[in-house]
Amino acid sequence: MDKIVYSLIRSKRRTISVEVTEDASVIVRAPKWMAKREIEAYVYENSDWIRRHLDKASKRNKKADDRGRITDNELDGLAIMALAEIPEKVRHYADILGVTYGNITVKNQKTLWASCSSNGNLNFNCLLMKTPEHVRDYVVVHELCHRLEMNHSRAFWDHVGTVIPDYKECRRWLKEEGSLLLRMNRQ
């Protein structure tokens, strides 16, 4: 079995952890005081998990590479579509949730689907227009629920669930399929 190559980041943390990144690299975070042999042992003990996740990341990257890059013209078209659709969704769901909001902006974001600032301004990724409609609805509701809870507490998810009962499926779609869209936009 091949040795796992990883980057080591030492800090004042108390525990060791391993991360397999989107680009199929491995990062190990360990306390400053931990001996190198303990770190190696941890990586070895978790090698099956690491290899499974490296394989998944490689397959995702290949799938994104096969789909190609999103062109600037396509991004412009998606932004126009998003500006036509998303504000109406925001108004609709804001009424249901009984919340207010500030400005709505559509951007070409590299890593985020959307965000909500503390003063209620909403930013949405134009790539949302390449997602199924129920996923777009979920993202809008997710951001509007931050007007009720500026965190991801149980109360926050309860608010989301009252409007989008299948929100976990939407989150799964964004994690699996949506990550490919974001990756296609970064190539």
pLDDT digits (tens, 9 = 90+) for 98-109: 999 999 999 988
Res 113 pLDDT > 90: yes
Reply yes or no on whether the pLDDT at 177 is more than 70.
yes
CA angle 63, 23, 139 (to 5 degrees): 70
Band of pLDDT at residue 178, cut at 50, 70 and 90: confident
Mean pLDDT, residues 133-160 taken together: 97
- Residue 59: pLDDT band (50, 70, 90) is confident
Q: How confident is the model at residue 66 (pLDDT cuts 50, 70, 90)?
A: low
Sign for the CA dihedral angle at 156, 158, 164, 167 comes to: positive
Structure confidence at residue 18 as a pLDDT band (50, 70, 90): very high
Please state the rounded mean pLDDT for residues 61-84. Answer: 80
Range ranked top by mean pLDDT from 19-33, 100-114, 135-149: 135-149
What domains lie within the chain, and their CATH numbers? 7-67 (no CATH), 72-186 (3.30.2010.10)
What is the four-CA torsion angle of 81, 84, 90, 92, rounded to 10 degrees?
-120
pLDDT for the residue numbered 21: 85
| pLDDT reading at 61 higher than 70 | no
Average pLDDT over residues 112-141: 96
Q: Specify the pairing of strand 114-116 against strand 122-125.
A: antiparallel
